[in-house]
Amino acid sequence: MPEKLIFELSSKGRRGYTLPKCDVPEKEIAELIPPDMLRDKPAELPEVSEVDVVRHFVNLSTLNHHVDKGFYPLGSCTMKYNPKVNEDMAGLPGFAHIHPLQPESTVQGALQLMYELGQYLCEIAGMDDITLQPAAGAHGELTGLLMMRAYHEKRGNPRSKVILPDSAHGTNPASVVTAGYKTVQIRSDRRGLVDLDQLRSVMDEEVAVVMLTNPNTLGLFESDICEIAKIVHHAGALLYMDGANLNALLGIARPGDMGFDVVHFNLHKTFSTPHGGGGPGSGPLGVKKDLAKFLPVPVVRKNQNPKSKTQIEYSLDYDLPESIGKIHGFYGNFGVLVKAYTYIRMLGPKGLREVSEAAIINANYLLRRLEPYFDVPYEGCCMHEFVLSGNRQKDKGVKTLDIAKRLLDHGVHAPTVYFPLIVPEALMIEPTETESKESLDHFVEAMIKINEEVETNPDIVKTAPHTTPVGRLDEALAAKNLDVRWKPKEE
C-alpha cells in the first residue's frame, strides 16, 4: 500500500502537541506583524497526531535507499557507514547550544576543537595552514582558486588559465570559471593518467594552476605526480589537489609531500558525516606556507602564552591584511567539524591508515571478481574505486542505466554511471572500507546475475526496477513535471 501524503492523514482538530501556558503578556498578532505581511487565511498545514507523524516519516525512511539500509557503492562520493557516536558528540549541549557570537572566553572548548582539527588535517595532508570555513568540496575549490589568484596577483600577474585533466570532477571547471579563469583540458594517456607530453605542451606563463584529483576519478594513482609537480612549478604555476578521493591516502601518502600547494578535504566523505540529502558538508582547505597569508578570516590560533591571566588560550585571528576575506558565515559548518574531530581522535594514525588499506583492498577485490563479466578500460590495480564499462552489455541491447536500475531489485544502490565521460557506458564503483566481504559478495552476485539476464532475459533488466515503491520513471518527464502526488494505478 503506497504511503499517503501527510496532508492525506490530516483530520480537522487533531493535534500532536500541547503548549505551556503563556508566561508573557499576550498580544494580538496584528499588533506584532505589519498587516501587509499577514495571511488572508490560515496556512493550510496538516492536522495530525504525534503517532501519525512518527509512523509517516519512519515509513518514508524505509522506502528510500540509504547507507544504514544497504550497500551504496557510489564512486568518488565515499558513501560509507558512519559511526553513530559522532552524531552523539555533535549533539552534546556544549557544542550544539553555543552561539558563534559568544565571547571567545566562553567557547574555548569549541575553538580548541577547531584548532586541533586543523592541525590534524594539516598533518594528514602535509600542509602548513588551513581554513575550516568552506561549506563543501566545490566551495573549497573556489576558495583555493581565489587564494591562488591572490598569490599570483601579489606577484604581478593573476594569469588567465587553469589546466584540468579530461577525467576531472565536474565541479572543477565550474569553480575555475567562477574564479575568473579559463579552463584548458588535457587528455589522459593509455594508462588513464595525465599525459605528461601534453601537459608540457600547454604549460606557459599564463597558467595559474593545475588542478588534479589523486587518485584520479578512474581510481588510479597518478604515479608521475612528482614529475607533474616539477613541470607545474617550473612554469611558476601552483598545483591544486581535489581531495574527493582522500579516502585512499590516509596514513599512506600526503599530498604536500607529492608537491601539491593546496588541497581541500571533504569532511562529509572522508571523515564521517552522512553524505547526501542536501548537506551539511564541510570542505576545509589546507595550504603551504606561501599561501597562508591569503586564508579567509578568521583563522583559529593558539596563544603561545596560555598561562597569562590576561590572555585566553584560543582566539579568532582577523589580522590577515592580504586575506581574500570571509567566504562563509561565521567559522564553517561547526557540527560537521565535531564529527570529523571525533572520527580522527577515535581512529588515530593507525586506524586512519587501516581505513585506506581496507578501502583499497575492497575495491581491488571487487575489480577482480567482476573483471570476467564487464570490460575493464584500464589495466592494473586500482586504489579505493574503479571504473568498469558496460560496452559488451550494450552490444546486446542493455545499457548501463538498465543495469543500475536492476541493481535496486537486489537491495543495492547503483554505482555512479556514465562518469567519468572518457569511459563509454561507465560504472564507477567505490565499496569503501566499511563493507564486509559478505556485503561485497552480495554485490558481485547481483552483478553476475544481471549479466546472465542480459543474455537470457534482457527485458527484465531494461524494464527494472520491479520491487521498489516506484518503477522505472520517465526521467525527462519527472524533471519537468514535479507533481509528486500519489495516484492509483490504472487497471
Number of domains comprising the chain: 3
Mean pLDDT across the chain:
93
Give bridge partners of residue 163 from the DSSP assignment: 184, 210
CB-based contacts of 6, cutoff 8 Å, min separation 6: 46, 48, 52, 53, 56
Task: Note whether 303 and 174 are same-domain residues.
Answer: yes
Helix (H) or strand (E) holding 184: strand 182-186
Which range marks the domain in which residue 467 is found? 353-480
Task: Note whether 368 and 338 are same-domain residues.
Answer: no
- CA distances for 362 relative to 253, 270, 368, 436, angstroms: 19, 16, 10, 9
Q: Flag whether 73 is in a domain.
A: no
Residue type, 157: N
Higher pLDDT, 489 or 375: 375
Task: Note whether 35 and 149 are same-domain residues.
Answer: no
Q: What pLDDT digit, counting tens, does each position of 389-422 carry?
A: 999 999 999 999 999 999 999 999 999 999 999 9
- The torsion region of residue 22 among left (phi > 0), alpha (psi -120 to 50) and beta comes to beta
Residue type, 270: T
Q: Flag whether 49 is in a domain.
A: yes
What's the pLDDT score for residue 184? 98
Q: Flag whether 70 is in a domain.
A: no
The Cβ of residue 295 has, within 10 Å, a number of other Cβ atoms equal to: 23
Query: What CATH number does residue 226 fall under?
Result: 3.40.640.10
Task: Note whether 245 and 101 are same-domain residues.
Answer: yes
Mean pLDDT score, 136-148? 97
Q: Is the pLDDT of residue 2 over 90?
A: no
Q: Of 9, 28, 63, which residue is a domain's last?
A: 63
State what percent of residues in the chain have pLDDT above 70.
96
Mean pLDDT score, 357-373? 98
CB-based contacts of 361, cutoff 8 Å, min separation 6: none
Q: Is the pLDDT of residue 1 over 70?
A: no
Task: Note whether 127 and 240 are same-domain residues.
Answer: yes
Query: What CATH number does residue 457 fall under?
Result: 3.90.1150.10
Task: Note whether 291 and 334 are same-domain residues.
Answer: yes
Mean pLDDT score, 38-57? 92
What's the pLDDT score for residue 486? 56
Q: Flag whether 81 is in a domain.
A: no
**11-25, 285-299, 377-391: range with lowest mean pLDDT:** 11-25
Task: Note whether 24 and 158 are same-domain residues.
Answer: no
Q: Flag whether 5 is in a domain.
A: yes
Q: Is the pLDDT of residue 474 over 90?
A: no
Q: Flag whether 68 is in a domain.
A: no
- The torsion region of residue 124 among left (phi > 0), alpha (psi -120 to 50) and beta comes to alpha
What's the pLDDT score for residue 490? 56
What's the pLDDT score for residue 290? 97
- CA distances for 412 relative to 260, 273, 313, angstroms: 36, 21, 49
**3-7, 197-201, 296-300, 485-489: range with lowest mean pLDDT:** 485-489
Task: Note whether 145 and 180 are same-domain residues.
Answer: yes
State what percent of residues in the chain have pLDDT above 90.
81
Task: Note whether 299 and 373 are same-domain residues.
Answer: no
What's the pLDDT score for residue 381? 96
Single pTM value for the model: 0.90
Task: Note whether 95 and 219 are same-domain residues.
Answer: yes
Q: Flag whether 395 is in a domain.
A: yes
Task: Note whether 262 and 378 are same-domain residues.
Answer: no
Nearest to 296 by CA among 135, 56, 61, 450: 135
Q: What pLDDT digit, counting tens, does each position of 270-311 carry?
A: 999 877 666 689 999 999 999 999 999 999 999 876 566 556
Q: What angle, 0 to 180 degrees and rounded to 10, lies between the N-to-C axes of helices 137-154 and 171-178?
A: 40
Q: Flag whether 78 is in a domain.
A: no
Task: Note whether 246 and 390 are same-domain residues.
Answer: no
Higher pLDDT, 61 or 404: 404
CB-based contacts of 50, cutoff 8 Å, min separation 6: 16, 17
What gap in Å lies between CA 235 and CA 215, rounded to an integer?
23
